[in-house]
Amino acid sequence: MTAPPAAPGPTAEGTAAPAPATAGRSPAAPPPVPALYETEIAHTRTTPFSYALRHRTYMWLVDVDELPVLPRALRPLARFDPRDHFDGHAPTLRAGLDACLAAHGVRDADGPALMLTHARVLGHVFNPLTVYWCHDRAGRPVCVVAEVHNTYGGRHTYLLRPDGRGRAEAAKAFYVSPFLDVEGAYRMRLPLPGDRLDLTVQLRHSDGTRPLTATVRGTHRPARPGTLLAAALRHPWSTAAVSLGIRRHGVRLWLKGLRVRPRTPSTPQEGTS
């Protein structure tokens, strides 16, 4: 597996609430990429009752312009397919990201872009959240794109302008959990990963409740063939496990009495595939 040189580093629905701009800040030292992160994903619900889940897996951090080149025998364990992101029609991940940025009016994020994601494993992938850290040509951070997928095949992107600590807010504009309406706002903390990965997404309602908090925490590992193989053995068919886990916990919540919130024609469903 070859590792490319490390790269430097709404008023409308889905656009982040105003936050201190990142443009103009000095570029931070980027993490070595490509990289694997051994992760623990946790979801905590607080209403109408407490419920928590934890899931261990692994994720990739890659440069969208320099994707990993895997030995042939390992390619079924990690495929980065542009059809799995954005509207699914772009020829490359960079083209899909550029089209997304242009749609949000961003013109200066034409430098390095790092993507945290699940790769396609044994022909299957499901990415509840993919994060893109976008920079200008000088390596200065410009914005973050959070791409959300639901289990109904829908996709939606949030353009974020995090502050110096990686914090941003965005109005919820996409149906994700079948037990939550499309209301409220997300408060996110999405700092660029380094030796540690530490992301938080919290849903907040106007009445002050915080019904859901999700965290993704992990440790950096070099993306060597041996590291990938060890991760795949610890977490067999990792992306299918994510899909099955979401459905298993959904059944448990339904059995506990949570009511399914119906999707409506007005619910945004970008890039449905």
Using CA atoms, how far apart are residues 139 and 29, in angstroms rounded to an integer?
A: 10
Using CA atoms, how far apart are residues 164 and 96, in angstroms rounded to an integer?
A: 26
- The arithmetic mean of pLDDT across residues 34-56, rounded, is 90
Q: Quick one: tokens of 136?
A: 């200008």
Q: State the DSSP string of 8-57.
A: ----STTBBPP----TTSPPPPPPPSSEEEEEEEEEEE-SSS-EEEEEEE
Using CA atoms, how far apart are residues 73 and 99, in angstroms rounded to an integer?
A: 33
Q: Would you call 234 helix, strand, or coil by DSSP? A: helix
What pLDDT was estimated at residue 153? 87
- Its pTM stands at 0.83
Instruction: For residue range 130-161, list pLDDT tens digits in order.
Output: 999 999 999 999 999 999 999 888 999 999 99
Q: Quick one: tokens of 269?
A: 């469903």
Q: Quick one: tokens of 235?
A: 């977490």
CA dist 116 to 106, 113, 185, 206, Å?
Answer: 20, 10, 22, 30
What pLDDT was estimated at residue 269? 42
Instruction: For residue range 48-86, list pLDDT tens digits in order.
Output: 888 888 999 999 999 999 999 999 999 999 999 999 999
Share of the chain above pLDDT 90, in %: 66
Using CA atoms, how far apart are residues 52 and 206, in angstroms rounded to an integer?
A: 23
- The arithmetic mean of pLDDT across residues 163-182, rounded, is 89
pLDDT greater at residue 50 or residue 222: 222
Q: Would you call 229 helix, strand, or coil by DSSP? A: helix
Look at residues 246, 252, 257 and name the one whose alpha carbon lies nearest to residue 152.
246
Banded pLDDT at 29 (limits 50, 70, 90): low
Answer whether residue 15 shows pLDDT above 50.
Answer: no
Cα-based torsion angle of the residue sequence 239, 244, 249, 251 in order, rounded to the nearest 10 degrees: 150
What pLDDT was estimated at residue 51? 84
Answer whether residue 19 shows pLDDT above 60.
Answer: no
